[in-house]
Amino acid sequence: MKHTLRTLAVAAAAVLALSGCTDSDAGGSAAPSDGGGELTPITVGLMPVADTAALYLGESLGYFEDAGLDLTIETATGGAAIAPAVVAGDYQFGFSNMLSLMVANEKGLGLKSVSAAVATTGDTSADMGAVIVTADSPIQSPADLAGKKISSNTVGNINEVVTRAAIDAAGGDGSTAEFVEVAFPDTIAAVENGQVDAGFVVEPFVTAALEAGDRVVSYAYAEFDDSLDIASYFTTAAYADENPEIVEAFQQAMAKSLKAAQDDSDAVRDIIGTYTKTDAEVLAKMVLPKYPSEIDRDAAAKLGDDAVKYGALTAAPDLDALLP
């Protein structure tokens, strides 16, 4: 089974250029094999973080092959980079944060979520995503982030909206924060070198930051909504209409993968160690997300409303068009 893991920089550049870095025959209209026949090739674009562990785990357990799919994984820095490649047909499916999908559809890209992916734990004292600062930073609460420079893996995505909401909830002015793009693996260094005042990271980088002596100033996902879906797997509405059997096969494989990840945290930690450079101590301590079976519509609506409030969207998203 194909399993391509490029470096983040190279993959991101390739995605943004829409250079056709995947097999041009991948994800054709042929139906998946029902066993014993030729597998249908698909390519999925994602980020190599704890959020995507369920798909990697499902691949290792053979769930995609069982569904008649020959899976290739391509990596990038975020949903804003992955979505254009899915639209261009270079990838058949992608992983993206929920807000980037809403923004893409507002721009007319016609994307469709087909599977849940990852959600907050809902624990405001230890979650899988956080805003970090250095140990000696004067920033002590989310309110202190007002007017500060904060990094996110992609500007204008879910991390920005939930952080602005956390600042407002703590009594600050979230609209005054400045967001800049820094890839998750580079965020700890950017914070410690003073390139930014604070940085938004997800696991395994949250635990890596704590191990390095940095502090968490906000678990912004959990503070925003205890059932917030961070991201989902998606395709284009056109591809879903034209290839219903392939989409159904992907959904079946993902349903098994998400259940396996939710049920076996040790397997999740082990699989994360195969596609990230994370040492054993961090793997053992990191906070794992929830791997839900369904997307929480109410939390998605709340995210859309706040995205309008902070200018990421001009109108509330059409969740009927976006969600499964």
Q: Can you give the pLDDT at residue 168? A: 98
Per the CB < 8 A criterion, the answer to whether 94 and 78 are in contact is: no
Q: What's the angle, vertex CA 23, arms to CA 61 and CA 65, rounded to 5?
A: 20
Q: Can you give the pLDDT at residue 249? A: 98
Q: Can you give the pLDDT at residue 124? A: 97
Scored b (16 or more CB within 10 A) or e, 83-111 reads bbbbbebbbbbbbbbbbbbbbbbbeeebb
Q: Can you give the pLDDT at residue 35? A: 53
Residue with tokens 């925003």: 224
Q: What is the pLDDT of residues 23-67, one digit of tens each?
A: 333 344 456 755 557 999 999 999 999 999 999 999 999 999 999
Range scoring the smallest mean pLDDT among 18-32, 106-120, 144-158, 161-175: 18-32
Q: What is the pLDDT of residues 233-243, one digit of tens each?
A: 999 999 999 99
Residue with tokens 């907050």: 120
Q: Can you give the pLDDT at residue 182? A: 96
Range scoring the smallest mean pLDDT among 31-35, 64-68, 117-121, 283-287: 31-35
DSSP code of residue 290: B
Q: Of the candidates 6, 3, 25, 166, which has an alpha carbon nearest to the alpha carbon of residue 81? A: 6
pLDDT band for position 81 (50/70/90)? confident
Percent helix, strand, coil in the chain, to 5, is: 45, 20, 35
Judge whether residue 227 has pLDDT over 90: yes
Q: What's the rounded mean pLDDT across residues 189-208?
A: 96
Other Cβ atoms within 10 Å of 38 Cβ, number: 10
Q: Can you give the pLDDT at residue 33? A: 57
Q: Model's pTM, two decimal places?
A: 0.85
Judge whether residue 137 has pLDDT over 50: yes
Q: Can you give the pLDDT at residue 76? A: 86
Domains and CATH numbers, the chain: 8-120+228-322 (3.40.190.10), 129-224 (3.40.190.10)
What is the rounded average pLDDT for all residues in the chain? 90
Q: What's the rounded mean pLDDT across residues 68-76?
A: 96
Q: What is the pLDDT of residues 171-195, one digit of tens each?
A: 999 999 999 999 999 999 999 999 9
Judge whether residue 20 has pLDDT over 80: no
How far apart are the C-alpha atoms of 25 and 41, rounded to whole Å? Answer: 8
